[in-house]
Structure 1
Amino acid sequence: MSSKIKGLAIVILLIFVTFSCQQKGETLEKAGIAISFDDHFIDEWYALRPLFQKYDAKVTFFITCGDSLKEDEIEKLKQLEADGHEIGFHGTVHNGRSTDFIEAEGPQKYAEMELIPGMGYMRAAGFAPTSYAHPGGNHNDRVDSVLFAHGFEILRDVAIANRVYKGIPLYSIAPRVMDWIYYAFDKTRTVDALLIDTDSGLTHDDMRDAMQRAADTNTALMLFGHEPLHGGPKAGEYGFDIAFLEKILIEAHARQLQYYTMSELPGL
């Protein structure tokens, strides 16, 4: 082989190796976690600020019933937003039967009932949500099309690992094999997040394994909950154990997972 050909081969090899390493590094840097919280537990979420700051975590808060936002709640949400968290939207009246309503009344009536009033309240309070969490996880392509037409960048659905009906276990799926709760950075705009509330039946091992999969596959694990609770829920409460959330944050930190807000995902 002539010296010119050898030199050219070496240059090509160096370019290939450099490009491959850069691509691998860029992909590895994306492994992360996207946590969100639903409904209207603003005081309770705000109380978690020290926990989020301790682990440098950023999350998304999906707000419903924007017409009832109090001045102090607005200020707390603005502070959370200033901290790097996202303020998303969770519907005007939290109607968990969006598909039935849009079938019966049509897309315009659906928007007038569930989207337009609440988004007006949010804008008046100083927020411009670009992510939406389906109330009750109820939606179809027709509902989604209306939401996208109103400017939402990403729509989040609900995933449950353990389903029980009237005390009878229906199914149980290990989160590490639930492909649909991992964001692959493929520009997808309809996603599913895994419920972590106390009635989800999840364990610390489940979360550790799920985050390890995210680290191994360069994806983002998507999780969500409702009200922060100290221990188990009391009558009428539904939410996640704060100690369980901290375990998740500890595991994410140990694996150097990045934190993503929901609207960041489709743009990466």
Structure 2
Amino acid sequence: MKYIKIASPGSNAFLWLLTAVVGSAFWGCGSPLGKPGAGGIAISFDDHFIKEWYELRPLFQKYNAKATFFITCPDSLQAEEVAMLKQLEKEGHEIGFHGTVHAKSTELMAAGGPKGYIEAELEPGLRHMHAAGFKPVSYAHPGGNHNERVDSVLLAQGFTTLRDVAISRRKFKGFQLYAWPARWMNAIYYAFDGAQKVDALMIDYDEVTEEEIAEAIKEAKENGTALMVFGHEPLYSAPQNGKYGFNVSFLAAVLREAHAQQLKFYTMSELPKVK
């Protein structure tokens, strides 16, 4: 998971200065230059909210949009859910993999090495995915937890795109540590350089505003890059009872603005293929 790590500050002034310094070093300022005319957006969704995602089809169709759905716990896939995923795939969306048990990959790797990690988090879930007719080549790190060793195993297992998590806002004991403009987070823009390890901005509830996402979309358009964003469960009101997810009206605003800016919609596995 990508975010700016800051120790408890002694004062607000110190916090602001440290945030600015660390942030500028970590994110840079402004998105990178990509490929002229290739400006676009890559939207993805994590976990196992298949029925809820499926209900968004009219919204995707309205804007001729496509997305990537990263599935976790595929051993619990029901026949109805498999049929929904196949329909989404038929309509141009991508079905990716989000792990067998949604565990911390670094801990599994530390405990069992590459073999133990593969046997616990990759092979069981992929067997179910393959049996259902899906052959995912994109992987989203559960919880954004990974390291170079984990990445090397995933790439060796045939995954072509590994997606991490980027967060633009962070709080500490209720205090806002920082709110970083999405347009400055160069890590969430794909520059069409063949990179296989990428970061996507989380757009769950209260993570980013419509104005900020509009600015980020404009940035992608102007620089010929692909803005990468992701969320979890589709929600129609503020999350309650521990739920986490994005507001459907916010997603509609993202799709509407991307369509207005004439951005291309990419699936995650398509990004490294663009020449």
Identity rate, percent:
61
Q: Please list the CA deviations of residues 143-162 of structure 1 after superposition, one character each: whole Å capped at 9, or x if unmatched.
A: 00110111100000000000
Name the counterpart of 2:142: 135
Name the counterpart of 1:74: 82
Partner secondary structure for residue 132 of structure 1:
strand
Q: Once the 2 structures are TM-superposed, how far is the Cα of residue 167 of structure 1 from its aligned partner?
A: 1.2
Q: TM-score, normalised by structure 1?
A: 0.88
Structure 1, unaligned stretches of length 5 or more?
1-25
Rg larger in 1 or in 2? 1
Q: TM-score, normalised by structure 2?
A: 0.86
| 1:5-154 pair list within 5 angstroms | 27-95=35-103, 97-154=104-161
Going by fraction, where is helix more abundant, 1 or 2? 1
Aligned: 1:190 with 2:190? no
Task: State the superposition RMSD in angstroms.
Answer: 1.0
Structure 2, unaligned stretches of length 5 or more?
1-33
Aligned: 1:215 with 2:221? yes
Q: Once the 2 structures are TM-superposed, how far is the Cα of residue 29 of structure 1 from its aligned partner?
A: 2.6
Partner secondary structure for residue 192 of structure 1:
strand
> Residue type of the partner of 2:126?
M
Name the counterpart of 1:243: 249
Partner secondary structure for residue 163 of structure 1:
strand
Moved more, 103-112 or 54-63: 103-112
Check the 8 A contact 2:167/2:202 in 1, yes or no: yes
Q: Please list the CA deviations of residues 166-200 of structure 1 after superposition, one character each: whole Å capped at 9, or x if unmatched.
A: 31222221000000000000000000000000041
> Residue type of the partner of 1:111?
I
Q: Once the 2 structures are TM-superposed, how far is the Cα of residue 131 of structure 1 from its aligned partner?
A: 0.1
Q: How many residues align?
A: 241
User: Which of the pair has the greater relative contact order for Cα pairs under 8 Å at 6+ separation?
Assistant: 2
Deviating above 6 A after TM superposition, structure 1's stretches of 4 or more consecutive aligned residues are none
Q: Once the 2 structures are TM-superposed, how far is the Cα of residue 139 of structure 1 from its aligned partner?
A: 0.4
Q: 1:227 aligns with which of 223, 229, 233?
A: 233
